[in-house]
Amino acid sequence: MTNSSLLSRLSGILWLSPVAMLAIVVASIPFRGFDLFLLAFPAMAVAAAIGVQLMVRRWMAPLPKLNALIAEVSQGRFNGRITEVSEKGELGALCWNLNDMLDQLGAFFREQETTFRCNLDGKFYRHTMPVGLHGGFRKGLLNQNTLLEAMAGQKRAAMYTGLVSRTHHLNTANLLDNLASNQNDLKVITDKMRVVTELASKTCEDAEAGKALVNDVVERLTGITDRISRANETITRLNARSVEINRAVTLINSIADQTNLLALNAAIEAARAGEAGRGFAVVADEVRKLAESTKHASESIGQIMSTLSGETSYMLKDSVEMRESANASQAVIAQMEARFTQFHESASQTMTNADYVHDLSFSSLVKVDHVMYKQRAYVVIDGQNEECMRAIGVDHNNCRLGKWYNEGEGRQLFGNLSSYGALLAPHAKVHGSVHAMTKLMDGPWQTNQALQDKIIDAMEEAESASREVMDLIGRLVDEKHPGMVL
Amino acid sequence: MKNRITPTSVEKVMREEDFIVSMTDLQGRITYGNRIFIEFSGYSEQELLGTQHNIIRHPDMPRAVFKLLWDTISGGSECNAYVKNLAKDGSFYWVFANITPLFDPNGAITGYFSVRRKPDPKAVQTMGEVYRLMLEEEQRAGARDAIAASTRLMLNLLSEKGLSYDEFILAF
């Protein structure tokens, strides 16, 4: 519009001179008469006007394009350009400068938009490229890089916090269950240990009672020995007495012999009659003495006999007591047998309980190991930790549980139980999932939400397999000690 | 016409403060080229407008690069690439190209906008070597399997480094 009016105004001015010339020629006719030659001037002026108008029209050709383009730019659209610029003068330069300006603007906005979008998508490596941009555009893009870096840092931190908080959440929930399982184990161990202590104290009591009984028996047996030696002494004494009796009997025999001789003498003296009175009196005196001796001897025998009867009653009494002692000892020994039976039972119960407690405490240790393995995995997620990284690199054959399972007591003592076979797969899965997690951690999880989800998935799989492992370890012990389950 | 140009070993080096800007329609015909484009390509504006953009394609460039480029931008994403271009006089110039789609107000792609900057010399050296290997692979595989073969080569290289194409290209 401006252009056409500008061009028409120019045309107006251009056409003024031929019109004025024509007017002068027409006005001169009354004074000088019609002169055809004079018409040549307005004709030339017309030709000049046409020529100039065409030239101006060509020179100004870019103006409507410029106008349209600037109008478009003012609407926020930078994709238009002016092409086929034939004009070499100021207008041509204006067109190229406008193009350059739009190139700068276009590149600037594209860089800005692309880098923001990439940053939001987690492609933090895409910085703005200020090469080729000028002045404020360049500075703007450099500033944007600072901004992008800060955004990336924030997003990385947020992603880190996100992962850590999700794993902590996962960990806390499972750790509590794991600890509860160990707590339960410890509770059972404590209860069982109390039973074992009670059994041990009972065993101790039984042993003490047994010892008292043995003392009693020993005492009784000592009494019997005393009595036997006393009986021996009595018998010795009796023997001695029987020698005395023999002597007495010999004495009586000699008395009898002498009495016989005296009787013979008396018979002889009686035959001599006469003088019988005096001699007989002597014989009678001798017989009297003999009778006295015989009386002494029989008294002595009577005394010996009474002593003998005393000793005999002693011996009888001892033998009665000895029988009682022996009877009492038999009762004590029966009691001792009962005590020892109890003692044996207590000891074997103690052993069963101790065996169970041993298995349970070992299984609890294995569980703690297993929980620690997972804790190390969480530590690795928390921040790279070389030591934990190395520790969780172990596979399911070489951790404590794996070694116990493959080579140790596990196979030996539990190998024939059904829970034993079931343990292998979930245990391998715990290690497998944790290894998968560490591999994923090598990736760009700080920018990639999907990757982070995969990490959480791997840990959830590990936790779920781990629950199975913990459960199976518990069942393994229960299966081996069916009578022990409280 | 473009095949008649004999490449020479004369190199033109881009300046830090300039960039080449060009636009094409959906078919790759040039609709705009800035003065730096005119200067480096050696063609006049009249010669460039309406011509296929591959008028400046250098025979040292593997075809797979352009396949990747077109696949990427026609999908609506930006594409960054180191490219060796052929000028009208047979000389060559390396650029770091950033090509983005042009959208109309309805979000439909109407053409492409290409900004080509002065490349990092280290990147030129590396990519020159990569392209040489890819080109050899293309020549070995024959015309029909050329692109697949050299693409495989590039993907192997990237997976060895554990990087995406963009990460690799933007890391220089």
pLDDT of residue A276: 61
- Residues B147-166 have pLDDT tens digits of 999 999 999 999 888 888 99
pLDDT of residue B1: 44
Give me Rg for the CA atoms of chain B.
16
pLDDT of residue A353: 81
Interface test with A, best of B73, B170, B172 (most A CBs within 10 A): B170
Reported confidence tier of residue B112, pLDDT bands at 50, 70, 90: very high
User: Measuring CA to CA, which residue among A467, A427, A383, A444 is closest to residue A170?
Assistant: A467
DSSP secondary structure code for residue A413 in this structure: I
CA angle A18, A21, A27 (to 5 degrees): 140
Among the partner-chain residues B35, B49, B166, the one whose CB lies closest to the CB of A84 is: B49
Cβ <8 Å between B23 and A103: no
Reported confidence tier of residue A485, pLDDT bands at 50, 70, 90: low
Contact B102/A at CB under 8 A: yes
Q: Which residue has the tokens 């390509």?
A: B41
Superfamily (CATH) of domain B19-169: PAS domain (3.30.450.20)
Amino acid at A327: N
With a cut of 70, say whether residue A389 has pLDDT above it: yes
Among the partner-chain residues B34, B96, B100, the one whose CB lies closest to the CB of A110 is: B100
User: Measuring CA to CA, which residue among B68, B37, B42, B75 is closest to residue B131?
Assistant: B68
With a cut of 60, say whether residue A274 has pLDDT above it: yes
pLDDT of residue A281: 66
Cβ <8 Å between B49 and A134: no
Interface of A with B (CB under 8 A): 79, 81, 83-85, 96, 99-100, 103, 106-107, 110, 114, 123, 125-127, 129, 131-134
Q: Are A77 and A109 a contacting pair, CB within 8 Å?
A: no
With a cut of 60, say whether residue A361 has pLDDT above it: yes
Secondary structure (DSSP) of B90-108: S-EEEEEEEEEEEE-TTS-
Cβ <8 Å between B46 and A129: no
Q: Which residue has the tokens 């011996």?
A: A315
Q: Which residue has the tokens 């229960």?
A: A478
Looking at the complex, report in whole angstroms how far the Cα of residue A143 sits from the nearest Cα belonging to chain B. 18
DSSP secondary structure code for residue B9 in this structure: S
With a cut of 60, say whether residue B31 has pLDDT above it: yes
Pairwise CA distance, residues B161 & B166, whole Å? 12
- Residues A121-178 have pLDDT tens digits of 888 899 999 999 999 999 999 999 999 999 999 988 888 888 888 888 888 878 878 8
Among the partner-chain residues A96, A106, A127, the one whose CB lies closest to the CB of B35 is: A96
Cite the DSSP H helix spans in B53-171. Answer: 63-74, 121-141, 146-161, 165-170
Reported confidence tier of residue A100, pLDDT bands at 50, 70, 90: very high
Minimal-distance CA residue of chain A relative to B118: A131
Q: Which residue has the tokens 């009997």?
A: A249
pLDDT of residue B151: 93
Contact B120/A at CB under 8 A: no
- B96 forms beta bridges with B82, B117
Looking at the complex, report in whole angstroms how far the Cα of residue A77 sits from the nearest Cα belonging to chain B. 9
The ipTM, to two decimals, is: 0.92
Q: Which residue has the tokens 């039972």?
A: A345
Contact B17/A at CB under 8 A: yes
Q: Which of A178-192, A390-404, B111-125 has the highest mean pLDDT?
A: B111-125
Please report residues of B whose CB lies closer than 8 A to that of A81. 23, 31-32
Secondary structure (DSSP) of A149-193: HHHHHHHHHHHHHHHHHHHHHHHHHHHHHHHHHHHHHHHHHHHHH
A-B Cβ pairs (cutoff 8 Å, strict): 62
Q: Are A124 and A152 a contacting pair, CB within 8 Å?
A: yes
How buried is A229 (Cβ within 10 angstroms: 0-12 exposed, 13-18 middle, 19+ buried)?
exposed
Q: What is the largest CA-CA distance in chain A?
A: 269
